[in-house]
């Protein structure tokens, strides 16, 4: 577990970093659970709405959106594949992500390719620390 400025980042996951996405990926057999990381949950504020409206996706493709009182954004697929499940509990009460982002997966995907060669997915502890440190600097400058 990495902890930076009170935000935790479990090392049993990988992180999708493209365009500030801040999604975690947890590989479970042939499937991947995907949710928002602690940085996103903290910066976005209380999440009030999430939707996922695509079932077959390509990496980087728009698949839905999410909203909070201060933020509206798009949700992108970190990997190509077929979305096999969407967490209905999270769709009904998106604030669960703010309370515990790592138990609040948004969707589950069966990837087209189990070999992970996406340059925007990181798992190395040093890379995660460097990435989050840079993301924190971006918001501290504003």
pLDDT of residue 117: 63
Integer Cα distance of 138 and 140 in angstroms: 6
pLDDT of residue 116: 57
pLDDT digits (tens, 9 = 90+) for 43-81: 888 999 999 987 899 999 999 999 998 888 999 999 999
Please give the structure tokens belonging to residue 68: 């909070």
Q: How many domains does the chain have?
A: 1
pLDDT of residue 114: 67
Integer Cα distance of 91 and 96 in angstroms: 10
pLDDT of residue 115: 65
pLDDT of residue 47: 92
Half-sphere exposure of 69 (CA within 13 A, CB side): 4
pLDDT of residue 118: 80
Q: How far is CA 48 from the centre of its chain?
A: 16
Domain residues for the domain of 122 are 2-141
Question: Assign residue 111 a region: left if phi > 0, alpha if psi is -120 to 50, beta otherwise?
Answer: beta
- The Cβ of residue 7 has, within 10 Å, a number of other Cβ atoms equal to 18
Integer Cα distance of 138 and 50 in angstroms: 25
Question: Assign residue 80 a region: left if phi > 0, alpha if psi is -120 to 50, beta otherwise?
Answer: beta
Assign residue 26 the CATH number of its domain: 2.40.50.100
Please give the structure tokens belonging to residue 7: 């935000």
Query: Each residue's pLDDT tens digit in the chain (142 positions)?
Result: 999 999 999 999 999 999 889 999 999 999 999 999 999 999 888 999 999 987 899 999 999 999 998 888 999 999 999 999 999 999 999 999 999 999 999 999 999 986 656 889 999 999 999 999 999 988 876 5
């Amino acid at each position: 577990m990495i902890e930076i400025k009170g935000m935790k980042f479990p090392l049993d996951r990988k992180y999708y970093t493209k365009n500030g996405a801040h999604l975690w990926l947890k590989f479970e057999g042939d499937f991947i659970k995907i949710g928002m990381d602690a940085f996103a949950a903290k910066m976005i504020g209380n999440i009030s709405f999430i939707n996922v409206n695509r079932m077959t996706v390509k990496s980087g493709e728009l698949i839905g959106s999410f909203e909070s009182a201060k933020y509206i954004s798009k949700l992108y697929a970190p990997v190509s594949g077929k979305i096999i499940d969407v967490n209905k509990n999270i769709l009904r009460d998106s604030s669960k992500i703010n309370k515990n982002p790592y138990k609040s997966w948004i969707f589950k995907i069966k990837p087209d390719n189990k070999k992970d060669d996406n340059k925007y997915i990181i798992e190395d502890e040093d890379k995660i620390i460097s990435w989050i440190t840079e993301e924190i600097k971006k918001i501290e400058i504003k």
